[in-house]
Amino acid sequence: MATAHIESQLEDIAPVVLMPGDPLRAKYIAENFLEDVKQVNSVRNMFAYTGNYKGKRVTVFASGMGIPSVGIYSYELYNFYHVESIIRIGTCGSFHKDVKLLDVILSQNAYCKTYFPKLLDGGEDGFISSSEELNQKLIEVARRNHIPLKTGNTITSDVFDLYCDSKEEFRKNYPEQDFLSVEMEAFGLFYIAKKLGKKAACLMTVVDSLYDQRSLTSEERETSLKEMITIALDAAIE
């Protein structure tokens, strides 16, 4: 079996998938957190691995950047590989004053202005929610591991906001509500999950912040990343 973008066999993919944007992050997770690992995709270098975490099978599959890319991989994994849950583990920016660099954020809702739903199935953009069931697991695991987790709304943008002419003009495109994070994939993942009757969640580490301009050490980055990965893996096997 193979799809247009995935060469894996059906049995190579676990029902729960962790989805970083970066293929090399998928490799890092496989090498540092999983046992008995098998590489299950390398088409377009969108690396994917399946292995055991605490004795349970988990797949880590990269999504690439942006809604079109995450839309393709999540659709194919849910629809052709019978995946039930995808937990995105990404990075994000923030222009919320209570959010600091390297905070770990759980996206309860993603808001996006995009033509993606209209083109896919005549649907609407705007707000979409993630899986309440997955979110409860992620929140519980974070609490048990004493890892602080901020939960809230996410802006999913079709452009990298740091390259917009004006941050003020960018912000005016979105509702007045509080948004903890801005990134480029969550809405696409949540939309595909909802369409196919599957579950999706999104954890993010803050790497750009309007209110926190510290420069980070690689050790600080690694610690925050490891916390996010641990939350996702422990929730994935529950």
Residue 48 CB, shortest distance to ligand HPA, in Å, is 21
Of 76 and 183, the one with the shorter C-beta distance to ligand HPA is 183
Of 41 and 91, the one with the shorter C-beta distance to ligand HPA is 91
Please list the active-site residues.
208
What residue number has its CB nearest to ligand HPA?
Answer: 93
State how far the alpha carbon of 7 is from the alpha carbons of 46, 72, 94, 191, in Å: 11, 14, 36, 24
What's the rounded Cα separation, in Å, for the pair 183 and 186? 7
Of 78 and 179, the one with the shorter C-beta distance to ligand HPA is 179
**Residue 237 corresponds to which amino acid?**
I
Residue 21 CB, shortest distance to ligand HPA, in Å, is 8
Token reading at 152: 């809230």
* Alpha helices (H) along 49-126: 67-80, 116-121
Residue 84 CB, shortest distance to ligand HPA, in Å, is 27
Of 127 and 160, the one with the shorter C-beta distance to ligand HPA is 160
Of the candidates 198, 204, 194, 30, the one whose C-alpha atom is nearest the C-alpha of residue 106 is 204
What's the rounded Cα separation, in Å, for the pair 195 and 206? 28
Q: Which are the contacts of 122, defined by CB distance < 8 A and separation ≥ 6?
A: none
What does the binding site for ligand HPA look like in residue numbers (CB under 6 A)?
A: 91-93, 160-162, 182-184, 207-208
Residue 15 CB, shortest distance to ligand HPA, in Å, is 28
